[in-house]
Chains A and B, each alone.
Chain A
Amino acid sequence: GNSVTQMEGPVTLSEEAFLTINCTYTATGYPSLFWYVQYPGEGLQLLLKATKADDKGSNKGFEATYRKETTSFHLEKGSVQVSDSAVYFCALKASSNDYKLSFGAGTTVTVRA
């Protein structure tokens, strides 16, 4: 079946540090990949996405590249801020005909001033 595995947290960083959250996936076809972010007390919101191999999604200084050869979609940000403290979810949409997302367990990130 289709599934997503992301690194366990929590992750605690200082401001301006480099952030990486690993995400790998298992899928039978050609999935689309997403990163969602959940700020404290809020619902999830889309951070970035990539729909085919070698695509790079980017938003708010975050980037992730769809690597089919390693079945990965790692999230990176070069210099985090306190406002980046949130829970980050990697997610997979199995195919263009599918409309459900499979989510990873989430990674809690705390950025200290």
Chain B
Amino acid sequence: NAGVTQTPKFRILKIGQSMTLQCAQDMNHNYMYWYRQDPGMGLKLIYYSVGAGITDKGEVPNGYNVSRSTTEDFPLRLELAAPSQTSVYFCASSFPGTGTGELFFGEGSRLTVL
């Protein structure tokens, strides 16, 4: 079972560069999320999507963009990388129909902006 797959696992960017973090899930989940994890700060929601073609901002969306053209994929775009975006990024998915509220997470993408 692949579950939620994120790529790349590690990346170093220079200030001002752009990149896309890829996320794919094979569980046919409607809902997908992007979180960032900073030391001592827990996880903060960046963007989320309730289905293909629908996205919405979370707590910390500035500096990021997302798209959801298919149920399976939910890429996160950084347009002008800044040191404040150094973090570990987690993609997650869920299927509200189960009623459990459980999120399934990828293994994370560690991004460093220098």
Among A41, A42, A103, max chain B CB count under 10 A is at A103
Q: Is the beta-carbon distance between A43 and B42 smaller than 8 angstroms?
A: no
Alpha-carbon separation in the docked complex, A99 to B94 (Å): 8
A: interface residue count bin: 20 to 34
6 more contacts with CB within 8 A, not counting A8-B40, A105-B42, A106-B40, are A43-B106, A44-B92, A44-B103, A49-B100, A51-B101, A89-B43
Contact between chains at B107 and A41 (CB < 8 Å): yes
Evaluate contact between B90 and A43: CB separation under 8 angstroms: yes
CB distance from B54 to the nearest CB of A (A): 12
Q: Inside 8 A of B61's CB, which chain A residues have their CB?
A: none
B66-88 interface (Cβ within 8 A of A): none
Complex: A49 Cα to B100 Cα, angstroms:
8
List the B side residues contacting A43 at CB < 8 Å. 4, 90, 92, 105-108
Find chain A residues with CB under 8 A from B16 CB.
none
The answer to whether residues A42 and B107 also contact, given A89-B42, A105-B40, A105-B42 and a CB cut-off of 8 A, is yes
Contact residues in B for A60 (Cβ distance below 8 Å): none
Q: Which residue of B lies closest to A33 (CB)?
A: B101
In the assembled complex, the Cα of A45 lies from the Cα of B96 at a distance in Å of 17
> Are A49 and B101 in contact, CB atoms less than 8 angstroms apart?
yes
Smallest CB gap from B94: residue in A: A99
Q: Are B101 and A105 in contact (CB under 8 A)?
A: no
Residues of A at the B interface (CB closer than 8 Å) are 4, 8, 32, 34, 41-46, 49, 51, 89, 93, 96, 99-101, 103-106
Return A29 CB to nearest CB of chain B, in Å. Answer: 14
Q: Is the CB of B106 within 8 A of A99?
A: no
The answer to whether B105 and A44 have CB atoms under 8 Å apart is yes
A8: chain B residues at CB < 8 Å are 40
Query: Which residues of chain A are near B92, meaning CB under 8 Å?
Result: 43-44
A15 shortest CB reach to chain B, Å: 26
At the interface, yes or no: B52 with Cβ under 8 Å from chain A?
no
With A100-B58, A103-B42: A45-B105 Cβ-Cβ less than 8 Å: yes
The 9 closest A-B pairs by CB, nearest first: A43-B105, A105-B42, A103-B43, A103-B42, A93-B101, A44-B105, A43-B107, A46-B102, A32-B101
